[in-house]
């Protein structure tokens, strides 16, 4: 049977899902991929598709390059879906950076504006904390409450550590000063975490160390045109909707230093009647998380020809 729009949500991944060669099979048969990257490249003055296709990986993984590349990837997949399927979601959401992709695909921010915006977002994040000062780590099998308590017990103004991403039950990412994060990893192991590991990132996203960057980002957002809502977008900071343009600007700025509440976001979507969630972009990280959060909700990724066919078949 056909999935009604009210039952359908599209979600978009954030930084970390990028890889050399992403979307290659789709690009071989769908012109939307390279044309979308060409639009982004023109804005940036950088051949983004060549970087994604050929690397080097260390250049793609620079935050200021990763963010526009992931944005372009998600928008390209959405454009293919629009061309090939009549099914349209009533809801959208994105994990961290993916929230910008949701706003572009939902018609609120122009793609060219978003490309420039996320490039600057990446630069501001990298500049906010010198390399080596900040860190992030993943803690597995502890509850959200355990992680929150651990961070509050350890954190001080000079050695900050906080919950950054509530990704799924038993999967929380923490961020802050490198030494404090390392201490939290050891404490988490003693508290019974099955795994607690430092992540290979230099930017401690979604914690108070990003506050200065958030202020500068808010100033940039003031000059970005924001259209009225068409699709309902649920935001990371408060699991709410923000149809007012200035409220949206505030929320996007706050997102840099507030936690990503992904578990609550997905549960909220299902609570509104969503039964099918489609992840647009490289990889299938969110589809995996979503299945852990709401096992009874059908969650599928679109990142290559095979997964696109599966998602399309599911909707009809």
Active site residues: 96, 206
Q: How many helices (H) and strands (E) does the chain have?
A: 14, 9
The C-alpha atoms of residue 191 and residue 98 are separated, in whole angstroms, by: 32
Sign of the alpha-carbon dihedral angle for 301, 93, 143, 210: positive
Strands (E), 48-160: 91-94, 134-140
12: closest CA among 61, 78, 80, 90? 78
CA–CA dist 114, 72 (Å, integer):
10
Distance CA 192, CA 218 (A): 39
| Cα diameter, the chain | 56
Token duo for residue 296: 């009874």
Q: Give the span between the Cα atoms of 116 and 162, in whole angstroms.
A: 29
CA pair distance 200, 61, nearest whole angstrom:
10
Of residues 14, 30, 20, 2, the one with CA closest to residue 308? 30
Supply 50's token pair.
């060549």
The closest of 107, 99, 91 to 281, measured between CA atoms, is 99
Q: Tell me how far apart the alpha carbons of residues 156 and 204 are, in angstroms, rounded to a whole number.
A: 16
H/E segment holding residue 273 = none
């Amino acid at each position: 049977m056909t999935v009604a729009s009210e039952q359908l949500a599209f979600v978009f991944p954030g930084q970390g899902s990028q890889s050399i060669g992403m979307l290659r099979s789709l690009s071989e048969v769908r012109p939307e991929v390279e044309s979308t990257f060409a639009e982004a490249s023109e804005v940036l003055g950088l051949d983004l598709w060549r970087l994604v296709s050929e690397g080097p990986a260390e250049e793609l993984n620079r935050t200021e390059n990763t963010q526009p590349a992931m944005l372009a990837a998600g928008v390209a997949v959405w454009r293919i879906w629009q061309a090939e399927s009549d099914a349209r979601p009533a809801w959208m959401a994105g994990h961290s950076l993916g929230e910008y992709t949701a706003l572009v695909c939902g018609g609120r921010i122009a793609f060219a504006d978003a490309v420039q915006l996320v490039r600057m977002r990446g630069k501001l994040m990298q500049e906010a904390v010198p390399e080596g000062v900040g860190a992030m780590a993943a803690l597995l099998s502890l509850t959200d409450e355990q992680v929150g308590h651990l961070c509050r017990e350890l954190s001080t103004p000079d050695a900050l550590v906080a919950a950054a991403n509530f990704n799924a039950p038993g999967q929380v990412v923490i961020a802050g000063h490198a030494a404090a994060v390392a201490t939290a990893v050891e404490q988490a192991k003693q508290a019974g975490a099955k795994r607690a590991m430092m992540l290979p990132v230099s930017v401690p996203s979604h914690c108070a160390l990003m506050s200065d960057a958030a202020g500068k980002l808010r100033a940039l957002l003031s000059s970005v045109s924001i259209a009225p809502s068409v699709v309902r977008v649920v935001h990371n900071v408060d699991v709410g909707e923000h149809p007012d343009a200035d409220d949206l600007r505030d929320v996007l700025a706050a997102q840099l230093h507030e936690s990503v509440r992904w578990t609550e976001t997905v549960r909220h979507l299902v609570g509104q009647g969503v039964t099918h969630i489609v992840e647009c972009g490289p990889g299938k990280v969110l589809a995996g998380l979503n299945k852990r959060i709401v096992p009874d909700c059908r969650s599928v990724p679109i990142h290559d020809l095979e997964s696109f066919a599966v998602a399309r078949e599911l909707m009809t």
